[in-house]
Amino acid sequence: MPQFLSEITKPGSFKIKNLMGNESTRLMEMGVLPGLSLQVIRKAPLGFPIEIKVRGILLTLREVEASCIELEL
């Protein structure tokens, strides 16, 4: 069972396994690449967007983009 960022409910550190889907190009261009560590910082009041930290950069993603990122279990 692959685990996607969109399914994560609690803050924590993860490792990016893969990126897929239409939104993944921009994420990769912004430096979110397989193999890097990813921190889930928090979720917004209604669950999304989700705030993450990669390479020391804070990014917020909506559910569509979060579901592009597959994490290592």
- Which spans of this chain sit near another protein (rule: CB under 8 A)? 13, 19, 22-31, 33, 37, 39, 41-49, 51, 53, 55-62, 64-65
CB of 56 to another protein, least distance (A): 4
Distances, alpha carbon 13 to alpha carbons 21, 23, 25, 39, 72, in Å: 23, 22, 22, 4, 11
CB of 15 to another protein, least distance (A): 12
Q: If residue 60 lies in a helix (H) or strand (E), which one and from where to where?
A: strand 57-61
CB of 37 to another protein, least distance (A): 7
